[in-house]
Amino acid sequence: MGTRLGELVERLGGQLEGDPQLEVAGIAPLSDAGASHISFLSNSKLRAQAAASGAAALIVAPRDDEFVRASYQGARILSPNPYAYFARAAQYFAALTAIVPAPGIDPSASVAADAQVDPSAHVGPHATIESGAVIGAGAVIGAGCFVGRDAAIGPGTELLANVTFHARCRIGARGIIHSGAVIGTDGFGFANEGGVYIKIPQTGRVLMGDDVDIGANTTIDRGALADTVIEDGVKLDNQIQIGHNCRIGAHTAMAGCVGVAGSAVIGKYCTFGGAAMVLGHLTIVDHVHISSGSMVSRSIHEAGQYTGFYPLAKNAEWEKSAAIVRNLDAMRDKIRALEKTIKTLTKPI
């Protein structure tokens, strides 16, 4: 189930230094790679380890090649971004052994008569596909999934088991939606009358571009009147909540447990660490990076890294520092009083 190096380079590019007939069985990290593996050097600090590696072949950046080839005897594939090359090679090896769901609709699925399911798509057991929904070529709808009325799943997109994809929402090509995710749930919108909440119907949609990945148990609200938009290449991890009318810019990535309140507009190429939170109606420009556990309470107009979480300490120490934080006011007043006194003391007579 392996592949020849020549075939790998033909598919993925890179410059091969070695025998194209050499066969490798799989890809492994430097620390584990043996004589049947291809490995990769993505961090120049590990050059010595790479040079001593027992891997059959190595993916190396030109900047590290001179050092590596001085002692390393195996084949080398030169590529400017060995880590990206590794990812593509790993996809290639994974595909060799992957069990691809067969085209067709499981007899236990409930598919509306006027839903359009491409003949090359797979619909798993106990899935429900409502009227007017469109399932693209090669798409996979896992067991127990729900695809609502007039929703559209793009070609090659996969919904793993137990995904809920509500009416009129859309996702483009080559996406992945993991189990338990809910796309197009109602936004949290109410008018208040004498303390009682009156629901505002949420009639917008969720529109997702191509190459979008949505993590397990992540939820994305449909827009209230307009739409919630997830642009191309966005990657959301598990347990994320995206409020109604948000826009997440292309190629932005969010780690697990992030929350984004309604109508936030987030730029392209941003990253959010786990459990970061974004308040509603904010704007965040492109290339902003939010550290884990940080609360974004104001718009961010300048690219860069932002952080805001209370530093961890032994509990007894935290008790002390938290008590002072509560009374920083008093501390500031003391300093002001000191400054005043000293001013008096140092005043020229």
Subset of residues 253 to 312 that bind a copy of itself, contact rule: CB under 8 A: 253, 255-257, 259, 261, 268-269, 273-275, 277, 279, 291-298, 304-312
**Separation of alpha carbons 188 and 280, rounded Å:** 12
**How far is residue 291 from each of residues 39, 47, 235, 341, measured CA to CA in Å?**
31, 30, 16, 42
**Separation of alpha carbons 246 and 222, rounded Å:** 9
Cβ 71 to a copy of itself shortest distance, Å? 26
Taking CB under 8 A as the criterion, the residue among 91, 104, 137, 281 binding a copy of itself is 91
Cβ 152 to a copy of itself shortest distance, Å? 17
Cβ 14 to a copy of itself shortest distance, Å? 13
> Which residue reads 């890179």 in tokens?
14
CB-nearer residue toward a copy of itself: 99 or 113: 99
- Structure-token pair, residue 283: 């704007």
CB-nearer residue toward a copy of itself: 7 or 232: 232
Q: Is 122 a catalytic residue?
A: no
**Pairing of β 206-208 and β 170-171:** parallel
Question: What are the beta bridge partners of residue 288?
Answer: 304
Asked if 321 touches a copy of itself (CB under 8 A), the answer is yes
Q: Which stretch binds a copy of itself (CB under 8 A): 51-59, 63-71, 133-141, 161-169?
A: 161-169
Cβ 203 to a copy of itself shortest distance, Å? 6
CB-nearer residue toward a copy of itself: 152 or 276: 276
Report helix, strand or coil for 335: helix
Query: Site size for a copy of itself, by CB under 8 A?
Result: 123
Segment 97-156, which members bind a copy of itself (CB under 8 A)? 99, 106, 108, 110, 124-126, 128, 142-144, 146, 148-149
Query: Given strand 134-135, what is the order of strands in its sheet?
Result: 116-117, 134-135, 152-153, 170-171, 206-208, 228-230, 247-248, 265-266, 283-284
Which element (helix H / strand E) includes 206?
A: strand 206-208
Q: Which stretch binds a copy of itself (CB under 8 A): 17-25, 57-65, 70-78, 181-189?
A: 181-189
Angle at 31 (CA atoms; ends 26, 36), nearest 5 degrees: 30
CB-nearer residue toward a copy of itself: 71 or 110: 110
CB-nearer residue toward a copy of itself: 67 or 269: 269
Buried b (16+ CB within 10 A) or exposed e, 281-308: ebebbebbbbeeebebeeebeeeeeeee
CB-nearer residue toward a copy of itself: 47 or 222: 222
**Separation of alpha carbons 26 and 37, rounded Å:** 5
> Which residue reads 């009227």 in tokens?
131
Q: Are 202 and 244 in contact (CB under 8 A)?
A: yes
- Structure-token pair, residue 1: 């189930």
**Of these residues, 178, 244, 281, 301, which one is catalytic?**
244
Segment 201-230, which members bind a copy of itself (CB under 8 A)? 201, 203, 213, 215-217, 219, 221, 225
Cβ 191 to a copy of itself shortest distance, Å? 4
Cβ 134 to a copy of itself shortest distance, Å? 17
> Which residue reads 């990769």 in tokens?
40
Segment 5-64, which members bind a copy of itself (CB under 8 A)? 28-29, 32
Rg over CA atoms, the chain: 27
Residue numbers annotated as active site: 244
